[in-house]
Amino acid sequence: MNEGLGSLLVPLGFFAIFYFLVIRPQQKRNKAVKELRDNLKVGDEIITIGGIYGSILKIKDDMITIETGEDKNKITITKWSVGSLVNKNK
C-alpha cells in the first residue's frame, strides 16, 4: 500500500509545482489584461499588440477607433488587439 501512495505522490508534486510556476501566473496575467481592456476609455493612449501607438477616439461594443501619428490617421481595431495602456486619461 505504501508503494502505491509513493508512486502517486511524485506526479502530484510535479503537478503542484507546475500549477504554481506556470498555470497560476498565466491566469493572473490574463485576468489583468482582460480588466485593462474592459476599462478602456476615450482619450486613453494605448499600444496595440502589433506595436501601433494611438489615442482612443471612440469605443463601440468590441471595436475601438484610435488616432495615430501626426497626420491624425484613424484606425478601427478590436479590443483584444490592445496590448498595453500608455497614459490613462482621467
Q: Read off the pLDDT of residues 42-62 as tens digits, 9 standing for 90 and up.
A: 999 999 999 999 999 999 989
Are 55 and 65 contained in the same domain?
A: yes
Confidence band, pLDDT 50/70/90 cuts, at residue 6: confident
Domain CATH for 58: 2.30.30.60
State the pLDDT at residue 90.
Answer: 57
Are 72 and 89 contained in the same domain?
A: yes
Mean pLDDT of 12-34: 92
Are 52 and 12 contained in the same domain?
A: no
Q: What is the largest CA-CA distance in the chain?
A: 75
Count of the separate structural domains present in the chain? 2
State the pLDDT at residue 32.
Answer: 93
Are 16 and 51 contained in the same domain?
A: no
Using CA atoms, how far apart are residues 25 and 82, in angstroms rounded to an integer?
20
Are 35 and 45 contained in the same domain?
A: no
Are 61 and 74 contained in the same domain?
A: yes
Are 47 and 83 contained in the same domain?
A: yes
Res 1 pLDDT > 90: no
Q: pLDDT for 58-87, tens place per residue?
A: 999 899 999 998 999 999 999 999 999 998
The boundaries of the domain holding residue 84 are 41-90
Of 18, 46, 10, 19, nearest to 78 (Cα)?
46
Confidence band, pLDDT 50/70/90 cuts, at residue 31: very high
Are 24 and 45 contained in the same domain?
A: no
